Amino acid sequence: MSATKQDVRSRDTLGASALRPDGVAKVTGAFSFSSDMWAENMLWGATLRSPHPYARIISIDTTPALLISGVSAVLTAQDVPGKATYGLISADQPVFASEYVRYMGEPVAIVAADHPETCRRALEAIIVNYEVLTPVVDPELAMLSSTELIHPDGNLIRHQHIVHGDPNAASDITVEGNYTIGMQDQAFLGLEAAMAFPDSGGNGVELHIATQWLHEDRGQIAACLALPEENVRLVLGGVGGAFGAREDISLQVHCCLLALRTGKPIKMQYSREESFFGHVHRHPAKIWMKHHATKDGKIVKIESRMVFDGGAYTSTSPAVLINGITHTQGPYQCDNAIVDGYAVRTNNPPCGAMRGFGVVQACFAHESQMDLLAAACGLSPVDVRLKNAMRTGDKLITGQTVESVAPVERCIRETDAIPMPEPMSQKANVLEFPGGSGRTADRHNIIRGVGWGVSIKNLMYSEGFDDYATARCTLSDGVASLKFATSEVGQGFVTLAPQIARSVLGIDEVVLETSDTQIGSAGSTSASRQTWMSGGAVDGACRLVRERLFEHVGKLHNIDPIRLMVENTDIIDTVGTFRISVSDATQGITISETFEHHHRKTEDLDENGQGNCHVAFAFVAHRAVVDVDVELGLVKVVQIATAQDVGRVLNPLSAIGQLEGGIAQGLGLAVMEEIIMDNGRVKNPSFTDYLLPTALDAPRVVAIMIEEPEPQAPLGAKGIGEPPCISVTPAIVAAIRSATGKALLRVPVRPQDICL
Amino acid sequence: MTVAIPLTISEALDALSSNPDARLIQGGTDMMVEINFNHLKPHNIIALRRIKELRTWTKNTDGSITIGAGVPYQEMETGELKQLVPALAEAARTVGSPQIRAAGTLGGNLGTCSPAGDGLPVLFAVDAVVHLQSNEVSRQLSIHDFMLGVKRNARNANEIITAVTIPVLNGWQGYTKVGVRNAMVISVASACLAVDKPTKSVRIALGAVGPTIIRCRDAESWLTQQFDLSTSTKIELDLAKEFGRRVALESKPIDDHRSTAEYRRHAVSVLAQRLITRAYPS
């Protein structure tokens, strides 16, 4: 999509565009994804799901399924030996629904059989009597005290109030809006899949699983299985994308239960349709926001009320909500604020983590507001943002001081300096028009628009959580081997980790050991955190190994180790002439060190939403240029210009991949990606009707990486995974507004929103 | 489940007469989705893909062309077929991805008979004729008599759709389709317009806005009275708009998860206006 200079170095150290070790295998189809796993004598597992959004289970009769030849087990809630529920924050989600089903697609029973088709017949044979109930699907209604509680824990998952500065601060100008964000799906391409191997004797299980966080899964699985954690071993299966959808338990417990019950390896995998019911989605949200400003456009106060629909179970809703409301101000200075956020339980599908994690919703609102403010003050979208741009040392509405590098102004100015795309040429291919291959538009039907979006995103986990990462480095005979439990979900840590080792140790050959639970936790591959956290752990382990190597070499050659350093692939004496290759220096010895990286401590918010709850922040600006067929409401995003605060580029090729991918995902939310609900029912659980951007929808991306190394970050690099998808959505919508003059308060923008 | 893999039409018909409940599969781009969703559990399948007779097209002495039911869309996108039936080439390009266009066929579109079938509005606009063959008889049926409703057609259980004959018209023709992304998308509304100058006729057929493809015969005859289709080169904006409005009146769209009836009605009026303007631009 974009042309970037690639830094080709002779060695694949930090800063080089090292290629993915699994790249060729993935392109040629040789890579083994978790759905490709196979074992002798294995059985297949499958899940019976509720057809109703809300119903009482009167009875379940599994006998007819057990009578089918080839069926080995049929399990329901009563077969869960340990804890009946699980959850990332609050264990309120049942392994199997027993009394009530609370969303369409909720698991009710599982079967193991000799063939997927036998599984399907067994599922059909299970008789479940439901008393169908009226689902509660409107979060505003669900919150009312008069509304029936659809879960013993209540319908309000979390409310948080923020009041900051002077809530009565006066201003010249106010602008306000009511914004709606639809339910986006992560839509990873590698579907949920796992294989569980029971230990002989049935006291343990080994689960090969595509997940974002092996250790968190293990804790939840072990509790449900009533096994000690050490008897549950997890191994990372090949992961085909995650985007937050693999944070929660899906088939993990089910697969292990069947393996333990049957004594055989169990393979489970979801279909695309089942996947839409098998994982959490991005929270749909309704946001009211009001900006108070001076007449020259300086923000005085922001008021907001945000309602996030959490669906039937808690998942990460409390954390998503806090991310949303603590980012209300966006990357702008704001001294006074009153914000209320509500995460609410309904009979819609559970919602949880997705790239951007609550900030996507807030950003659509605050960036739409900034454009309203610009118009009210007679400023350009760029000027209003520059006037309010946050700087290092500014305070957030939580009272937290932004200590991170905060080049907001630079992000905006450098994005603004990127040349605009050429006007549509007379020879332009009709496929490049809005409507694409449908040939709907003629040149004179098309109007071009430009829009802006700028965002702030917290990095790592918040509110007092210590999401540390662990890595071990073993150096022997010139080869480093790295061990960590970090989930490679496509982000490129398997490329980065060897780059770190090469830079620190001066070796070229790096072996990656299996990612599993045979080492300490790496934390989740989410929150833009693995380069910082697992990267910090690998860096720390390699540095410890290097220190011991220097000691060893110093002792052998009678040099004070403090004088030694690594230069390319040699160890040299900085004040003498001694030089030895790392390879030679490590012949016959083995040095191994393990390191845990912890980030700075954070705090909970108090009742007024005040507290240092976040670790660090990253910033980005997006400018979108779109062509709109105003009469038909069809859109083609022509160009996205972006300057992103990345701290330091560790792998240019990998970095641009994150930027382009995030932009495509943010474009999806802007103009097409939505799970359509009808009274608790999902209407479009397939790629026929849940539309992801294609090559003809993807824009040309012109990207600038702003490198101001982050002092807090072990490698100077900020997380870069989430920011690209956050402010690109409001930028695209603003561009459509500029082309059409429509208010467009909702994403995705649908054709009828533009033209009717 | 049995799978018959005939190499000729007559072998296929034999297989069909011994297994009258067998499902016919051509490119499989519809049927495999049905099977994957478990909506269809065929006991017997007759795979038509290796029948060479179905994968060819010919020019007839009357100037029309006959396209075998197994010719993939890919072949219609370019080359001589594109020259002869440009609207079909444009419709073919909107079908799925390159992989789907290499597999999907008009035979499949006709067999499935979805109102959203991308090839069907073209067949309706040009008054195509569907060839059906059983072990006993061959018959030819106008496309207008062939499609009966949503996924319903006049094919008898013992018949195979072998080909479709398309008159080659003398005049502009084009196809356009609205979807919510710029490629690989199911139709929200589509339209094919074809002009035949010698007969001074204009034909417009709409897809995905009714239980069948809809030919807007009232709008067609109205336009014929307003405008000389054989000698004019430019249509006035007001006339084109009114044509669009009248076309939309003949649509019968519904609300569903893909769009609303209101948007679809609006869209076909815009598409019709644009198509007739493309036909008479200056």
What's the mean pLDDT in A384-413?
A: 98
pTM: 0.97
Q: Among residues A307, A303, A316, A311, which one has the least CA distance to residue A343? A: A307
Two domains, one topology: B2-113+129-166 and B173-279: no
Strands (E) in A526-672, as ranges, are: 564-567, 570-573, 579-581, 590-597, 616-629, 634-645
DSSP string, A154-189: -SEEEEEEEEES-TT---SEEEEEEEEE-------S
Residue with tokens 């609303």: B260
Whether the pLDDT of residue A154 is over 70: the answer is yes
Closest residue on chain B to A750 (Cα): B180
User: Cβ B176–A431 below 8 Å, yes or no?
Assistant: no
- Touching B: A residues 732-751, CB under 8 Å: 750-751
User: What's the pLDDT at B168?
Assistant: 96
User: Cβ B182–A435 below 8 Å, yes or no?
Assistant: yes
User: What's the pLDDT at B38?
Assistant: 87
Q: Among residues A728, A675, A633, which one has the least CA distance to residue A182? A: A675
Q: Which domains does chain A have, with CATH numbers?
A: 23-31+467-597 (3.30.365.10), 34-134+201-239+246-270 (3.90.1170.50), 285-462+604-755 (3.30.365.10)
When CB atoms are compared, the residue of A689, A696, A755 closest to B183 is: A696
Phi, psi of A427 (to 5 degrees): -95, 5
Let me know: does A266 contact A258? Beta carbons within 8 Å.
yes
Q: For residue B7, give how far its alpha carbon lies from the nearest alpha carbon of chain A (Å).
A: 30
A380 three-state secondary structure: coil
| Mutant choice from B38, B182, B260, B275 vs A, greatest count of A C-beta within 10 A | B182
A692 three-state secondary structure: coil
Closest residue on chain B to A124 (Cα): B38
Closest residue on chain A to B190 (Cα): A438
- Touching B: A residues 678-707, CB under 8 Å: 678, 683-684, 686, 688-689, 691, 693-697
A94 three-state secondary structure: strand
Residue with tokens 């910090």: A536
User: What's the pLDDT at A642?
Assistant: 98
A74 three-state secondary structure: strand
What's the mean pLDDT in A701-713?
A: 98
Choice among A514-528, A616-630, B25-39, B88-102 with the minimum mean pLDDT: B25-39
Let me know: does A192 contact A378? Beta carbons within 8 Å.
no
Whether the pLDDT of residue A5 is over 60: the answer is no
- Angle, alpha carbons B190-B195-B197 (nearest 5°): 180
- Touching A: B residues 80-109, CB under 8 Å: 90, 93-94
Structure tokens at B262: 């209101």
Phi, psi of B6 (to 5 degrees): -70, 155
* Residues of chain A positioned with their CB less than 8 A from the CB of B179: 438
Length of chain A counted residue by residue? 756
Task: Name the β-bridge partners of A85.
Answer: A94
Q: Candidates 3.40.1280.10, 3.30.390.50, 2.30.30.140, 1.10.3290.10; correct CATH number of B173-279?
A: 3.30.390.50
Strands (E) in B72-188, as ranges, are: 129-133, 138-142, 147-149, 152-153, 160-166, 173-178
User: Cβ B274–A273 below 8 Å, yes or no?
Assistant: no
* Distance between CA atoms of residues A747 and A752, nearest Å: 12
Let me know: does A249 contact A86? Beta carbons within 8 Å.
yes
* Distance between CA atoms of residues A411 and A413, nearest Å: 6
Residues 6+ apart with CB under 8 A from A323: A357, A358, A359, A362, A458, A462
Closest residue on chain B to A686 (Cα): B37
Q: For residue A299, give how far its alpha carbon lies from the nearest alpha carbon of chain B (Å).
A: 37
Residue A297 region by backbone torsions, left for phi larger than 0, else alpha for psi between -120 and 50, else beta: left
A134 three-state secondary structure: coil
* Distance between CA atoms of residues A331 and B170, nearest Å: 61
Q: Among residues A208, A209, A234, which one has the least CA distance to residue A219? A: A234
* Distance between CA atoms of residues A178 and A169, nearest Å: 22
User: Cβ B90–A696 below 8 Å, yes or no?
Assistant: no
Whether the pLDDT of residue A4 is over 70: the answer is no
User: What's the pLDDT at A9?
Assistant: 53
Mean pLDDT (chain A, rounded)? 97
Q: Among residues A414, A246, A389, which one has the least CA distance to residue A315? A: A246
* Distance between CA atoms of residues A522 and A619, nearest Å: 25
The answer to whether the complex's ipTM is over 0.90 is yes
CB count in 10 Å sphere of residue A170: 9
Strands (E) in chain B, as ranges, are: 2-4, 23-25, 44-47, 57-59, 65-68, 129-133, 138-142, 147-149, 152-153, 160-166, 173-178, 189-196, 201-207, 214-215
The domain limits of chain B are 2-113+129-166, 173-279
When CB atoms are compared, the residue of B38, B266, B277 closest to A755 is: B266
Q: For residue A192, give how far its alpha carbon lies from the nearest alpha carbon of chain B (Å).
A: 17
User: Cβ A632–B90 below 8 Å, yes or no?
Assistant: no
Q: Does B260 touch chain A (CB under 8 A)?
A: yes
* Distance between CA atoms of residues A180 and A365, nearest Å: 8
pLDDT tens for each residue of A322-347: 999 999 999 999 999 999 999 999 99
User: Cβ A688–B186 below 8 Å, yes or no?
Assistant: yes
pLDDT tens for each residue of A574-603: 999 999 999 999 999 999 999 999 999 999
Interface size A-B, in CB pairs within 8 Å, comes to 95
Cα separation values, A606 from A90, A161, A617, Å: 20, 9, 21
Q: For residue B260, give how far its alpha carbon lies from the nearest alpha carbon of chain A (Å).
A: 8
Structure tokens at A469: 């990462």
pLDDT tens for each residue of A646-675: 999 999 999 999 999 999 999 999 999 999
A397 three-state secondary structure: coil
Cα separation values, A394 from A332, A390, A402, A403, A608, Å: 9, 6, 6, 8, 19
Whether the pLDDT of residue A8 is over 60: the answer is no
CATH tag, B2-113+129-166 = 3.30.465.10
Q: For residue A369, give how far its alpha carbon lies from the nearest alpha carbon of chain B (Å).
A: 27
How far out from the chain centre does Cα A643 lie?
Answer: 21
User: Cβ A689–B178 below 8 Å, yes or no?
Assistant: no
Host H or E run for residue B226: helix B217-226
* Distance between CA atoms of residues A733 and A711, nearest Å: 35
* Distance between CA atoms of residues A233 and A114, nearest Å: 25
Let me know: does A543 contact A263? Beta carbons within 8 Å.
no
A572 three-state secondary structure: strand
User: Cβ A689–B262 below 8 Å, yes or no?
Assistant: no
- Touching A: B residues 19-78, CB under 8 Å: 33, 36-38
* Distance between CA atoms of residues B140 and B118, nearest Å: 22
Task: Name the β-bridge partners of A470.
Answer: A596
* Residues of chain A positioned with their CB less than 8 A from the CB of B266: 752, 755-756
Q: For residue A28, give how far its alpha carbon lies from the nearest alpha carbon of chain B (Å).
A: 17
Whether the pLDDT of residue A421 is over 50: the answer is yes
Residues 6+ apart with CB under 8 A from A144: none
pLDDT tens for each residue of B90-123: 999 999 999 999 999 999 999 999 999 999 999 9
Whether the pLDDT of residue A1 is over 70: the answer is no
Closest residue on chain B to A667 (Cα): B181
In this structure, are strands A299-311 and A336-345 parallel, antiparallel, or unpaired?
A: parallel
* Distance between CA atoms of residues A352 and B30, nearest Å: 34
User: What's the pLDDT at A425?
Assistant: 87
Whether the pLDDT of residue A7 is over 70: the answer is no
DSSP letter assigned to residue B83: H
How far out from the chain centre does Cα A465 lie?
Answer: 17
Q: Does A753 touch chain B (CB under 8 A)?
A: no
Structure tokens at B226: 């307003």
How far out from the chain centre does Cα A251 lie?
Answer: 19
Cis previous bond, A748, omega within 30 = yes
Angle between helices B217-226 and B237-250 (to 10 degrees): 160
Please list the ranges in chain B whose pLDDT falls under 70.
none
- Touching B: A residues 397-456, CB under 8 Å: 431, 434-442, 445
Q: Does A305 touch chain B (CB under 8 A)?
A: no
What's the mean pLDDT in A554-581?
A: 97
